[in-house]
Structure 1
Amino acid sequence: MSVDPERSPTSDPSRAERASAVEVRRSARRRRTVSAHREGDRTVVLIPARMSEAEERRWVGVMLDKLAAQESRRRPGDAELAERAERLSGQYLAGRARPASVRWVTNQNTRWGSCTPAEGSIRLSHRLQGMPEYVVDYVLLHELAHLLVPGHGPRFWRLLEPYPRTERARGYLEGVAAGRLPDPPRGPGD
C-alpha cells in the first residue's frame, strides 16, 4: 500500500501507539510516497529519508489505519462466513450440507476448523483470517463435508474431489504449520 503524503488527509499521531511492532525504513530514493506492508507480525512503513520525525509519526498512524481498514475488508465476519458456507455447499455438495451456525473462533490453535455434526455447528480458527480465499474455502468445505460424513474415510474424501484447489490448500496449510514448528534438534554432525 502506497500513499502520496501531499495528497492524503491528516491523521491523529496517537494511532501509532496502537501498533505493537512497527519498523520505519527511510529511503533516500523515495521522494514522495509512503507505503506500508506486513512482514509476519511486524508492520513495515517505508518513508522518504527527508521526512521529519513529526511527519513520520503522523504517517505511521495513517498507514496503520489504512492497513487495518484494508485487512478488515478482507476478513469476513460470521455472517459472511455463513453465506460463504451456503454457497460452497450448493456448489460442491449439491446443497446437502446445511450448518446451523458457522463462526470464527479464537480458541483453536491446533486445528484449522472443527465441526459438531449433531449440532450442525462449524467453527474456523481465526488463524485462517488473512489467508488466501481458496484456503479458507477449502477448510470451510472440509467442515461442511463433515456434516455429511463424520470421519476421514474414502467417502469423505470423495466429497472434496470436486473442489479444484484441495491439494494446493492442503499444501499451503501444511507449509504454514511447518513454519510454526520449532526446528528439529541437531545431531553432532549437523
Structure 2
Amino acid sequence: MAAPASPRRTLGTGTPGPLGDSVSAHLLSNGNPVIVRRTARRKTGLSAFWEDGQAVIAVPARLTLEEEKYWVPHMAAKLEASRRERQRRIPASDEALLQRSLSLSRKYLGSRARPDSVRWVSNQNDRWGSATPARKTIRISHHVQGMPEWVLDYVVLHELAHLIHPNHSPAFWAELEGYPELETAKAFLAGASFAAARNISGMGGDDLDP
C-alpha cells in the first residue's frame, strides 16, 4: 500500500506550545509508548520531540486516522534513531570524557583548566556535575549521558571553569561567555530540574558545583 502523502516533518527536542485539541497515548508495535497531540492550530506538518523523557508527536487536527497510523510510528522511529545517534557521540568512557574536557579547555579556556581526572559517576543524583579544584578532579553525573552534546559540553565547561575560579564570581561567568550554547544549555538543565522536582525523572536538582 502506498504511503499517505507526506506532510512537512520536523524532528527535535524543543518545547512545544500549549496542548492542542486532543491528546492520546499510543503503544507502538515495538512496545514503546508515544503521545499524540492533535491541534487545529497546526495547519500543516508533523513534529516529533522528547518532553520529560516521553516521545511526543504533534499532528494537525485534519490528519486522517490512516495517515496517523503511518506517520506516528514513522516519526517515533526517526526520533528514537536520532536519540541513539546523539548518545553514540557522547563519550562513554572516563578517558574519552577526559579527552573531551581537555579539548573544551583548549577551545574555550586557553587550556588554563587542566583536570587530572574527569569521571562519570552514578552516585551523584542531586547535581549535574561537581569539581574539586585542589585535586583537579571533575565528576559528571550519569544522568547527563542522555542529554544533547551541547548540554554535556556546558556541564563540563562549568566544572572546568571552577578549576580556575572555585566560586560563581563575575570572573567565573566571564570564562563561559565564549560558549555559544551557554544560555540555551542553562535553560535546558533548568527545565530538566523542574521536571525532576515533580518526580518526572530521576534527577533531583540543578546544582553543578561541589
Residues 1:88 and 2:88 are matched in the alignment: no
The Cα shift of 1:25 comes to 2.5
**Structure 2 equivalent of residue 162 of structure 1:** 178
> 1 CA distance for matches of 2:124 and 2:153?
18
Q: Would the aligned equivalents of 2:87 and 2:146 in 1 still touch at CA under 8 Å?
A: no
User: Distance in 2 between the 1:140 and 1:160 partners?
Assistant: 11
- TM-score by length of structure 2 reads 0.55
* CA spacing shift, 1:162–1:42, aligned 2, 3 Å: closer
Task: Please state how far the C-alpha of 1:87 moved relative to its aligned partner.
Answer: 0.6
Q: Which 4+ stretches in 1 moved above 2 angstroms?
A: 23-26, 34-43, 66-75
Q: Does 1:127 align with 2:130?
A: no
Matching residue within 113, 120, 130 for 1:114: 130
Find the residue that maps to 2:100 and give its secondary structure.
Answer: helix
Q: CA deviation at 1:180?
A: 1.3
Tell me how far apart the structure 2 counterparts of residues 161 and 127 of structure 1 sit (CA, whole Å). Answer: 25
1:25 aligns with 2:23: no
The number of residues matched between the two structures is 134
RMSD: 3.1
Which residue, out of 176, 179, 182, partners 2:198? 182
Distance 1:149 1:68, change over 3 A: closer
Tell me if the contact between 1:36 and 1:67 (Cα under 8 Å) persists in the aligned partners: no
Separation in 2, partners of 1:67, 1:37: 17
1:75 positional shift: 3.5
**Structure 2 unaligned runs (5+)?**
1-25, 35-49, 56-68, 70-80, 200-210
Q: Tell me the SS of whatever aligns to 1:129.
A: helix
Mapped contact 1:74–1:130 kept (Cα < 8 A): no
User: How far is the alpha carbon of 1:73 from its aligned partner?
Assistant: 2.4
